[in-house]
């Protein structure tokens, strides 16, 4: 069956360190992959999109990599801050028609 | 520019009652979506509408109906609510006519069915 896996355990890191979150998928050949941030009691907010022909994408302190051979995306936040504490969701478009399939998300906690 | 709005924010229903969740977007997006989010399950697509006048089932459509009233509005109806429909419901929209491939989400409706 089709599956997207994100670490269900919270990731705890210290302020200033780099946070790395993992998204693994099976049985898909996605056209692109997206990362969203979700704060408690709020809807997800789009952060970054990376296409299948791109290896890496950056936006300010955020970096996403996409390895279609390993079927894995890594999401990095450098110089992390307590304000980065949230749940981060990865999502795959498997049809090319914006029908996204979401992972369950990983909660990131950045302590001062 | 409000983005995606949803009403109500909270709702408590008894089993068997019906209700409609409302969603509107002011970004002129052609596609709209309804998701439910449950602990440990992530976001699951209930229905989506690729354009005004069209709707299609997502992963978990049973027990729900939708109406794409116009380009701005997309409603989700529970005809006979069941406790299994207790969840947080999110509406989203996207512009699939251009190169922007992102979905914009509303704040959610927290529904409890007793």
Q: Identify the sign of the CA torsion A106, B64, B92, A102.
A: positive
- A45: chain B residues, CB-CB within 8 Å: 105
Question: What pLDDT was estimated at residue A26?
Answer: 87
- Please check the confidence at residue B68 and state whether its pLDDT lies above 90: yes
Which percentage of chain B shows pLDDT scores above 90? Answer: 82
Closest C-alpha among B8, B39, B43, B38 to residue B23: B8
> From the first residue on, what is the mean pLDDT of each consecutive set of 10 residues in chain A (112 residues)?
81 96 88 92 94 92 94 96 97 75 94 94
DSSP state of A70: T
Closest C-alpha among A73, A87, A74 to residue A44: A87
Contact B103 A100 (CB under 8 A): yes
- A34: chain B residues, CB-CB within 8 Å: 101-102
Coil, helix or strand for B20?
strand
A80 or B1: which leads in pLDDT: A80
Residue B93: closest CA among chain A residues belongs to which residue? A98
Question: What pLDDT was estimated at residue A67?
Answer: 92
Q: Which among B4, B31, B106 is the nearest to A98, CB-wise?
A: B31
Question: What pLDDT was estimated at residue A1?
Answer: 57
Task: Tell me the shortest Cα–Cα distance from A44 to chain B, in angstroms.
Answer: 6
**b/e burial code for range B10-23 (CB count within 10 A of at least 16 → b):** ebebeeeeeeebbb
**Which residue pairs from A16-21 have beta carbons closer than 8 angstroms and sit at least 24 positions apart in sequence?**
A16/A79, A16/A80, A17/A80, A18/A76, A18/A77, A18/A78, A18/A79, A18/A80, A19/A76, A19/A77, A19/A80, A19/A84, A19/A108, A19/A110, A20/A74, A20/A75, A20/A76, A21/A74, A21/A75, A21/A76, A21/A88, A21/A106, A21/A108
C-alpha neighbours within 13 Å on the C-beta side of residue A42: 12
Largest CA distance in chain B: 43
Question: What pLDDT was estimated at residue A97?
Answer: 63
Task: Tell me the shortest Cα–Cα distance from A38 to chain B, in angstroms.
Answer: 10
C-alpha span between A33 and B32 (Å, rounded): 19
- Please check the confidence at residue B24 and state whether its pLDDT lies above 90: yes
Question: What pLDDT was estimated at residue B99?
Answer: 56
- Please check the confidence at residue B98 and state whether its pLDDT lies above 70: no
């Amino acid at each position: 069956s089709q599956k997207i896996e994100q670490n269900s355990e919270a990731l705890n890191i210290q302020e200033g360190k780099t946070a790395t979150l993992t998204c693994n998928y099976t049985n898909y050949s996605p056209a692109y992959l997206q990362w969203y941030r979700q704060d408690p009691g709020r809807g997800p907010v789009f952060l970054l999109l990376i296409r299948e022909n791109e290896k890496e994408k950056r936006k300010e302190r955020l970096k996403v990599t996409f390895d279609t051979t390993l079927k894995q995306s890594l999401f990095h936040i450098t110089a992390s801050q307590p304000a980065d504490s949230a749940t981060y969701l990865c999502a795959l478009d498997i049809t090319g028609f914006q029908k996204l399939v979401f992972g369950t998300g990983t909660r990131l906690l950045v302590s001062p | 520019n409000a983005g995606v709005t949803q009403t109500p924010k909270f709702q408590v229903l008894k089993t068997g009652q019906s209700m409609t969740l409302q969603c509107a977007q002011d970004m002129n997006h052609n596609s709209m979506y309804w998701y439910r989010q449950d602990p440990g399950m992530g976001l699951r697509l209930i229905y989506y509408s690729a354009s005004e006048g069209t709707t299609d089932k997502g992963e978990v459509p049973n027990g729900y109906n939708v109406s794409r009233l116009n380009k701005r509005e997309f409603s989700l109806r529970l005809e006979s609510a069941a406790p299994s429909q207790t969840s947080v419901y999110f509406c989203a929209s996207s512009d699939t006519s251009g190169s922007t491939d992102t979905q914009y989400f509303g704040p959610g409706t927290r529904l409890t069915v007793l």
